[in-house]
Amino acid sequence: MPPPIRVVIADDHLLFRQGLKALLKSEPEVAVVGETDRVDALPALLAQTPCDQLLLDLQMERSVFNDIASLSPQVPIVVLTASEVPADAVAAIRKGARAVVLKRFAVETLMDAIRTVATGNVWLPLSLQTQMAAQLTRPKPNALSPREEEVVRYVAQGLRNAEIATRLAISEETVKTHLNRIFRKLGVRDRVGLALYASRIGRR
């Protein structure tokens, strides 16, 4: 059996934090190795506590969007939120979060999110995927070249430009050129929109 996925919990609601720990305690795939109710304590906690993922409440004592941007290079972040506004989920992903889990569905969906992030992919609840994907217009068939289709598939899998370049044996600049062309063809603004488009039409 592989070692458990080590997680740190950051949530300022004591009852929810305790419930989350109780939920994860019953999952042999996960080990809670640290917790805090303060965002400003996270840098020191993460420096002292090796972990694989951070479970971060989006509505703590201050907006944590900038904290996501600063912390996500150190550790993959799974955002926990009571908000079901698609814009909040999109903002969190754009700042660097790897998953967004709605608190009211946490029992059913949290482990799916943790497992998905552990494989290097992005996870969003179906309800938010549907709302965001509905805003995208599907392009005409064959609008993308075979190489562009490959790039879309790798973006949907969560690969970064350098990783895509290695897989396709091309330069990072060429990957960027393909992405800019894809954005224009599909009418999406960024990698988040592209990943949602790919999820909507089954490119995985």
Same domain, 80 and 159: no
- pLDDT of res. 190: 76
Same domain, 69 and 100: yes
Same domain, 94 and 164: no
- CA distances from residue 129 to 15, 88, 94 in whole angstroms, order as listed: 28, 12, 15
Site of tokens 């799974």: 78
Give the pairing type, strands 53-57 and 77-81: parallel
pTM of the predicted model, to two decimals? 0.67
Q: Which of residues 133, 154, 183 is at a domain's end?
A: 133
Show the low-confidence residues of the chain (pLDDT under 50).
Answer: 136-137, 141, 204
Same domain, 97 and 191: no
- pLDDT of res. 110: 92
**CA pair distance 130, 112, nearest whole angstrom:** 17
Contact 81, 57 (CB under 8 A): yes
Residue 106 lies in a domain: yes
Domain holding 179, by residue range, is 146-201
**CA pair distance 38, 62, nearest whole angstrom:** 10
Same domain, 42 and 105: yes
Domain count, the chain: 2
Same domain, 43 and 128: yes
- pLDDT of res. 137: 46
Give the pairing type, strands 30-36 and 5-10: parallel
How is 174-189 classified by DSSP, letter by letter?
HHHHHHHHHHHHHT--
Which residue from 7, 149, 172, 137 is spatially nearest to 75, judged by alpha carbons? 7
Residue 141 lies in a domain: no
Report the run of H or E that residue 110 belongs to, with start and end: helix 106-118
Residue 33 lies in a domain: yes
Same domain, 109 and 183: no
CATH code at position 14: 3.40.50.2300
CATH code at position 181: 1.10.10.10
Q: Which of residues 133, 167, 187 is at a domain's end?
A: 133
Same domain, 66 and 162: no
Same domain, 128 and 151: no
Same domain, 22 and 62: yes
146-156 vs 172-186: helix axis angle to the nearest 10?
Answer: 90
Same domain, 166 and 73: no
- pLDDT of res. 61: 66
Q: Which two tokens stand for residue 198?
A: 């790919």
